[in-house]
Amino acid sequence: MNPQEYLESVKNLLLNNPLITQYQIIREYEGLEKSYIRARLTLTDSSFLEFAEYIEADARNFKITDYSFQWLDKDGNQVRRWDNTPHFPKLKNFPHHIHVSKEKVVSGKPINIFDVLNEIARIIEK
């Protein structure tokens, strides 16, 4: 799969995921070597997910080189944020981390929009 094909799969997810009630693509660039998407989603519990992914081709496939996913409740308060901005170098799996609250940041792992929506679905369904 190349970056362009990955971006198409993301847009298909936005159209068909039952957790998403509305979405707006704010910006996108689609190419064989590099792609980018930034979007805002409204979820079934009236919360929002704002996300951005930069996708680049590597030797045989693609990789997400930069990402951020910010989940906000219906009032705009942060529920959780996943990103790989390199500002917590002492955390395991640096630069991947999760803001679980305004005061607490924990180590994360590489993640994409598919994984984030699955995690949010598990949390909402509890």
Query: pLDDT by residue (tens digit) across 105-126?
Result: 999 999 999 999 999 999 998 7
Pairing relationship of beta strands 62-72 and 20-29 according to DSSP bridges: unpaired
Q: Where are the domains of the chain?
A: 3-124
The reply to whether the predicted model has a pTM over 0.75 is yes
Q: pLDDT band at 39, cuts 50/70/90?
A: very high
pLDDT tens, position by position, 63-104? 999 999 999 999 999 999 999 999 999 999 999 999 998 889
pLDDT at 16: 96
104-108 contact pairs (CB < 8 A, 24+): 108/82, 108/84
Q: What is the mean pLDDT of the chain?
A: 94
pLDDT at 61: 85
pLDDT tens, position by position, 1-13? 889 999 999 999 9
pLDDT at 59: 77
